[in-house]
Structure 1
Amino acid sequence: MTERRQQLLDAAIRVLGTRGLRQLTHRAVDAEAGLPEGSTSNQFRTRGALVAGVFGRLVEVETAAWDRLAGQLPPGDVDAFVAVLGGLIRQPTTEGRAVVLARHALFIEAAVHPELRREIGAGRERLAEWGVPLVAGLGSADPPAHFRMLLSLIDGLFSNQLAYPEDDFDPEAAIAALLRGLLPR
């Protein structure tokens, strides 16, 4: 990806995550990126192309975060997994909230746009390629299903904390409870 394209997509994520889907326009992205008018439309001819580009960039950003997570984990250590994953969830609900809000806006958009739904499915499969082995390493009897449950929990934790922030937000407790129910004792 070129530096300019990445700059535009990161600006589009900020627009989407701070102002919502209706405000995601070529002109708004140009302004957010501090680039001349027309810069975004030169890279993304249609709004659909821009939305697809944003989703692709979100997958890159989130995959990089998950890769960092995987690099911090000693194999099979449930407590370390809970601690690291809790930190991964806590960060986007504070300084990284625009990324999570942008992702959620696109998930809602996917409900009425099948092409975006397919891209989301492909992104989840990409995450599963390395996430399922992590869950398997914790002793899961059904790593693919348990990884999907873990992703659902994470999405719910994000949604709740972003919509109604709690001072005592404790994602680690929820993750540990889910894993206690899924993993052998």
Structure 2
Amino acid sequence: MPDRRTILADTALALVAADGLKALTHRAVDAAAGVPTGSTSNVFRTRRALVDAVVDRLEARDLALWHDDAGAPPPGTRDELADRLAHYLEVFGVAQAELTRARFAISIGAPDAVVAAHARFLTIAEGMVAAVGADDVPRRARWIADYCDGALLHQVTARRGDAIDPGAHRSAIRRLLD
């Protein structure tokens, strides 16, 4: 069973996913978690600490997805990497769309809170790009991150409910790797 800190952070994440960053207050988390008033502020003393907890939970969930893939062989070719990233776009854009909306709400409303997590993601992306033998690794990793962010933003907002075309994403990502 998750500890109290994790339960409160997950509840906070659910609030942001449902109603945006403006809905994130200590009292709202207390109410949604069904805990006594003041419980959340005892664990997360400031609003920034609460926002940081949401960012940490998002990153933990993202890393759990990567770890679920740990049994799969790492992408060894550019085509395999494009396939894998297109798959992740489908997961984040459909199955985890609410969490992706929360990620964007925090990125826009509290950009300083996501800087470190974004840097860690770029490090992972650079490792994948380097592993498939692409040149200019940092630049290509940023291009892929920017493409994925833009594709996800459209998928969970303006194209909400539309089917994802993994083939189109695969093709676009593949071009970014060449």
Pair in the same fold by TM > 0.5: yes
Distance 2:83 2:176 in 1: 17
Q: What is the CA deviation profile of residues 5-56 of structure 1, one whole-angstrom value per residue up to 9, with x for unaligned ones?
A: 1111111111001111111111221222232322211101221221122122
- Paired with 1:176 and 1:80, the residues of 2 have a C-alpha distance of 11
Q: Aligned residue for 2:96?
A: 96
Aligned counterparts of 1:101 and 1:5: Cα–Cα separation in 2: 22
Give the AA of the match of 1:174. H
- Look up the equivalent residue of 1:182 and give its one-letter code: L
Per the TM alignment, residue 88 of structure 1 is displaced from its structure 2 partner at its CA by 1.5
Identity %: 37
1:140 and 1:182 in contact (8 A); partners too: yes
Please give the per-residue CA displacement for 1:81-128, whole angstroms capped at 9, x wherever unaligned: 223222222122233222111110111023xxxxx52x4222122123
1:126 lines up with 2:120 in the alignment = yes
TM-score (norm 1): 0.83
Alpha-carbon spacing, 1:56–1:92, altered in 2? closer, same or farther (3 Å)? same
Counterpart in 1 of 2:149?
Answer: 155
- Which 10-residue stretch deviates more, 163-172 or 153-162? 163-172
User: How far apart in 2 are the matches of 1:62 and 1:159?
Assistant: 16
Greater RCO, CA 8 A, separation 6+: 2
Give the equivalent residue in structure 2 for 1:168: 163
Unaligned regions of 5+ residues in structure 2, if any?
none
Give the structure-2-normalised TM-score.
Answer: 0.86
Match of 1:113 in 2: none
Q: Does residue 46 of structure 1 match 2:46?
A: yes
Partner of 1:83: 83
Q: How much has 1:140 moved relative to structure 2?
A: 1.1
For the aligned residues, what is the CA RMSD? 2.1
Q: Which runs of 4+ in 1 moved over 4 A?
A: none
Would the alpha carbon gap of residues 101 and 75 (structure 1) be closer, same or farther in structure 2, given more than 3 Å must change?
closer
Q: CA deviation at 1:166?
A: 5.3
Change (3 A) 1:34 1:88: farther
**Aligned-residue offset at 1:147:** 1.0
- The SS at the match of 2:95 is coil
Deviates more, 1:123-132 or 1:100-109: 123-132
What are structure 1's unaligned runs of at least 5 residues? 111-115
- Displacement, 1:174? 2.3
Which sits farther off after the overlay, 33-42 or 101-110?
33-42
Instruction: Name the structure 2 match of 1:145.
Output: 139
1:97 and 1:75 map into 2 onto residues whose CA distance is: 25
